Amino acid sequence: MQPQTDESVAPDGTERPRRRRRRTSQKQLDERAQIKASIVAAALPVFAERGYTQTTLDSVAKLVGLTRSGILHHFASKEALFLAVLERQRAWAQQQVDSADRSTTRGLSAFLGHAGHARVPLQLVHVLAAEAIAGNEAAAGYVAERADFVRSEIRRRLQESRERGEVDPAIDLDEATTLVAATLNGLQAAWLLDADVPTEPAFDLLLRLLGPRPTA
């Protein structure tokens, strides 16, 4: 076994001049961040249409004018890109929660996700749910996480609404949470299939049914 040599010392014993590391400028960092953001934005509708299994890095690369190697320069793998897309999904979900009216039970309708250009992220949720049912672990983790997030928000808002007298005090909140979450999922799927389906009136009907019973 040969002894290790100190590469900082020349053969004649003199110290080699040290190479200066090039510092990455803020402009370069900003450009890299912009490229990564554009890749994630392009990947979102691809994952939403094809799911995790059928999405390829080549299909995403074509949309942003890069090669597969170019994508891998910014994301180590398809899974890494997928995780970045899910981070964007979480931001979208949090925005839904933050924008919802907290002063009335009607604010729960924000979870329908129809506002603005929400079709693609909403479609991704349902496509990944189908993959999770089929046993895809990459999709299952996010689907379970989102379900817990939505259920906790629904239950908290139902509790607040009951304290304001908008929800029948005799109703079990856990059962009501399950009912509202299931209704939201069903109405979202119906809207994705046909945007003309009157989902909001149907959801309003559910909220009225959860309201306090009229006194005799």
Tens digit of each residue's pLDDT (9 = 90 or more) over 145-177:
999 999 999 999 999 999 999 999 999 999 999
Read off the tokens for 17. 């001049």
Specify the CATH number of the domain 26-84: 1.10.10.60
The answer to whether residues 74 and 29 touch, using CB atoms and an 8 Å cutoff, is no
Q: Where along the chain do the CATH 1.10.357 domains lie? A: 100-216
Domain 100-216 = CATH 1.10.10:
no
Tens digit of each residue's pLDDT (9 = 90 or more) over 43-100:
999 999 999 999 999 999 999 999 999 999 999 999 999 999 999 989 888 887 887 7
Indicate yes or no: pTM above 0.95: no
For residues 150, 156, 158 and 162, what is the CA-based torsion angle, rounded to 10 degrees? 180
Q: Where along the chain do the CATH 1.10.10.60 domains lie? A: 26-84
